[in-house]
Chains A and B, each alone.
Chain A
């Protein structure tokens, strides 16, 4: 079955620490990759996306992600987090041959302590 795995369910870190969230998927073929974020009380927002080209993608709020095709991974990074980065983060994959639907990972709750 096609799946998307996020390795950490919960992450707690202090302000200014670096953040890396893992995401692996199990599809073959061409994919589009996304990271979404849901801040407390808000709706899901797109952080960044990868369709093609440079595998290092820069998104909003200082986030970036790297697509490593050989590892089927799309890890999210931020060098120095802020308290306002407290949120739940979702990796999502779209298999181009399967229409527009997104397959999500289970989400990672990130708590940044001030």
Chain B
């Protein structure tokens, strides 16, 4: 079974703090994604990566950056957390091309910024 692990499940951070959300997958997938999920807005793509050191902006990249130094690990960084970044963050991974393969999600990281 594919496993996508988000190490931090619940975090509470202060406004202005730097936040790292880590995601690791164990199936040698090329593609990894970060989404956030908010009530009434569904899942929205923040960034995705199709290879080591490669990244692409999604629909809502503002206020976020990402890092993919190793194939199995994709990190989401909030340089200076703000209250409007309080959300549930989902990491996902996928092998090969979208549409021909399914996407697997981690368990989610609940971030509260106070």
Tell me whether A and B are bound partners. no
Residues of B within 8 A of A (CB): none
A interface vs B, CB < 8 Å? Answer: none
